[in-house]
Amino acid sequence: MKRPIRWFDYITINIYWFALTTRSQVLSPLVIPLLVQQFMGEASKGTYVGNMRLWALMAAVLFQALMGMFSDRSTAKMGRRRPFIIVGTLVELIIFVLIGLTAGLEGTTGYTFLFLLYSLSMISSNTAHAATQGLIPDLVPEEKRGRFSGVKALFELPLPLIFVSFVIGKMISKGNLWGGLITLIVVMLVCMLITLTVKEEPLISNKEKLDWQPIIRLLLMTGAFTAIILLCGFIVNQVMNQGLKILGFHNPVFVMIVGLIGMIIAIWVGVWSSIAIGIGKRIQEQKSFTWWVINRLAFLTGSTNLAGFMIYFLQEKFVQYQGEKAAGPASTITMFVGIFILVCALPSGWLSDKFGTKKLIIISALLATAGTLVVIFSPTLTMIYVGGILVGAGIGFFFASNWALGTEIVPPSEAGRFLGISNLAGAGAGAVGAYIGGPIADQIGYTYLMGIYAILFLLSILAILKVKSKENISIP
């Protein structure tokens, strides 16, 4: 689409990212953990959160890819992307109201309805998400995409994190769930309406038949990865429970070791099997790509689940932050992490060029490890904020440098296909860390679970050392 770029296009094309991140930072770290705790109690809350996140995230993987393909081919009069954004948003608004009503239920009935609604929310939000990703490639000239992406990063990271921390997080921490959900509804609706002012030209015709092979491949990959996570979770639970019976006493170190081994196997086997399904025999010639995805999944398993279980960690560590009261400091920690992700992501390109992407990835893992250890051993909330800053710095360096390395090692003619396969790492991180980690935390507590995530940050370094890139070539 060729038309002049105006100043407000930077806002209208990117504003929906504010809505998507606000939604994710309200539901996953705040609303879902608190409601699951209310329905299922203290003893098994981690297990039930992990089970819910596993299936919801797998649904997200499938529908983001599927809706992206459908929006690419859409011939709707108002454009390819906006109809999907409208549908996704309106369904989300209904789901938020139903989640508020679900809060009045009890026990397994409440949990069952919440499970269903959260999974549907993942489907509807990823319908809009997939379409939003197409706006910049569709509407922005290549020479201006860098600037638009910079504005996108602003709407996607610090602004919604600060907003959730100072507005919705405070509401939920005071027990005002409906206030938080209504505010979220207003945010989603306003961002959708602003996005509708974007001018799209409809796709005139699309005579090509839909290629179902990528969809079938995605289904098989997701199914295989889900099966591996389920199997590893089952084995970890069996070994953990039987081992504790044999020992005759509660041993946190034993449970930590079993859980860590289970996560490592899920990450390693899950990635190798998924990529084997995705590219077949070519996996032998793409070992660096596979190790890169393993590095990405190991790191993201730690970073994603630190935020997901932060409320439970704060409740365990500080007696004054029980129930909804933990939502306020949890969202503040997330705000510090988000700000330092942005601050460190900006210079990471220059640092990667100067020192090399692999070195920066190693530094990011060390920073995230150090930050997690500070969080674990902090006697005060202030020190936990410091740990969050270190974790945010590590994540910021990681996101830019890891992705830069990935774009370097994938086959240039098939970059889209290979980088699409790597997206399993993003969803797989939440699934592995929560589904296997939740039952572990129910047994030994969330402090020990955070310790497992710190070890995964360190182990991600071993994977990146296996990656062969241009940095491995000595230039005389």
Cβ neighbours, 10 Å, residue 438: 28
Decide: 22 and 172 in contact? Cβ < 8 Å. Answer: no
pLDDT, residue 474, reads 35
SS (H, E, C) the chain: CCCCCCCCHHHHCCHHHHHHHHHHHHHHHHHHHHHHHHHHCCCCHHHHHHHHHHHHHHHHHHHHHHHHHHHHHCCCCCCCCHHHHHHHHHHHHHHHHHHHHHCCCCHHHHHHHHHHHHHHHHHHHHHHHHHHCCHHHHHCCHHHHHHHHHHHHHHHCHHHHHHHHHHHHHHHHCCCHHHHHHHHHHHHHHHHHHHCCCCCCCCCCCCCCCCCHHHHHHHHHHHHHHHHHHHHHHHHHHHHHHHHHHHCCCCHHHHHHHHHHHHHHHHHHHHHHHHHHHHHHHHHHCHHHHHHHHHHHHHHHHHHHHHHCHHHHHHHHCCCCCHHHHHHHHHHHHHHHHHHHHHHHHHHHHHHHHHCHHHHHHHHHHHHHHHHHHHHHCCCHHHHHHHHHHHHHHHHHHHHHHHHHHHHHCCHHHHHHHHHHHCHHHHHHHHHHHHCHHHHHHHHCHHHHHHHHHHHHHHHHHHHHCCCCHHHCCCC
pLDDT, residue 116, reads 97
User: What phi-psi label fits residue 315: left (phi over 0), alpha (psi between -120 and 50 degrees) or beta?
Assistant: alpha
pLDDT, residue 473, reads 36
Spatial distance between the Cα atoms of 310 and 330, rounded to a whole number of angstroms: 6
pLDDT, residue 371, reads 96
Spatial distance between the Cα atoms of 52 and 390, rounded to a whole number of angstroms: 29
Decide: 339 and 393 in contact? Cβ < 8 Å. Answer: no
pLDDT, residue 404, reads 75
Q: Which domains does the chain possess? A: 1-203 (1.20.1250.20), 212-466 (1.20.1250.20)
Q: List, for residues 28-67, the tens digit of each pLDDT value.
A: 999 999 999 999 998 899 999 999 999 998 888 788 878 8
pLDDT tens over the chain, length 476 residues: 566 778 888 899 999 999 999 999 999 999 999 999 999 998 899 999 999 999 998 888 788 878 887 887 777 888 888 999 999 999 999 999 999 999 999 999 999 999 999 999 999 999 998 888 888 888 888 777 767 776 887 888 788 988 999 999 999 999 999 999 999 999 999 999 999 999 888 777 666 676 777 778 778 888 888 999 999 999 999 999 888 888 877 789 999 999 999 999 999 999 888 888 877 777 777 788 889 999 999 999 999 899 889 999 999 999 999 988 999 999 899 889 888 888 887 787 778 777 888 999 999 999 999 999 999 999 999 999 999 999 999 998 887 788 778 877 877 656 555 666 676 777 788 889 999 999 999 999 999 999 999 999 999 999 999 988 655 433 33
Q: List, for residues 357-386, the tens digit of each pLDDT value.
A: 899 999 999 999 999 999 999 999 999 999
